[in-house]
Homo-oligomer: A and B are copies of this chain.
């Protein structure tokens, strides 16, 4: 039997969130948290609307997932995010002890790997490049629109 719950399947859900951000004139990044193949948190970047640099998709998704689970650690969860997390979000993910992080497009300038080679929790698995082109294209289109 084919497992419908692939990384591509869940990244499409994160991309849907990123599209919402795009439509709201926010830098288009979306994130979801999955636990036992169930989406327990959905979020998109809201830094403009909330006037808050900490309102990245990942930060909101971490807070929402912990709230759903009733505990602050996300040890059996996967975060799917369309863009490589920044240093702030990587730091938050480290504190959460999340099991897996899957991101779409890399972010050479602002992604965590530009600052810290290993800021994540040592037990966190990192998967990159899932639906990379679609994730990157959305960000590119946003900045073209902004020019």
Q: Which residues of B contact A95 (CB under 8 A)?
A: 53-54, 86, 88
Q: Does A71 contact B (CB under 8 A)?
A: yes
Report the interface size for chain A: residues with CB under 8 A from the other chain: 29
Give residues of chain A (30-65) contacting chain B, Cβ–Cβ below 8 Å. Answer: 47-48, 51-54, 59, 62-63
CB-nearest residue of chain B relative to A97? B53
* B86 contacts A91, C-beta separation under 8 Å: yes
Q: Which residues of B contact A54 (CB under 8 A)?
A: 54, 59, 62-63, 92, 95
CB-nearest residue of chain B relative to A53? B95
- Known contacts A62-B54, A67-B51, A116-B119; decide if A92 and B88 are in contact (CB<8 Å): yes
Complex Cα gap A135–B51 (Å)? 31
Interface membership of chain A positions 103-124, coded 1 if the CB is closer than 8 angstroms to chain B and 0 otherwise: 0000000000001101100000
* A52 contacts B63, C-beta separation under 8 Å: yes
- Known contacts A47-B72, A72-B47; decide if A119 and B52 are in contact (CB<8 Å): no
Complex Cα gap A66–B48 (Å)? 12
* A71 contacts B51, C-beta separation under 8 Å: yes
Which residues of A pack against B, CB within 8 Å? 47-48, 51-54, 59, 62-63, 66-67, 70-73, 86-92, 94-96, 115-116, 118-119
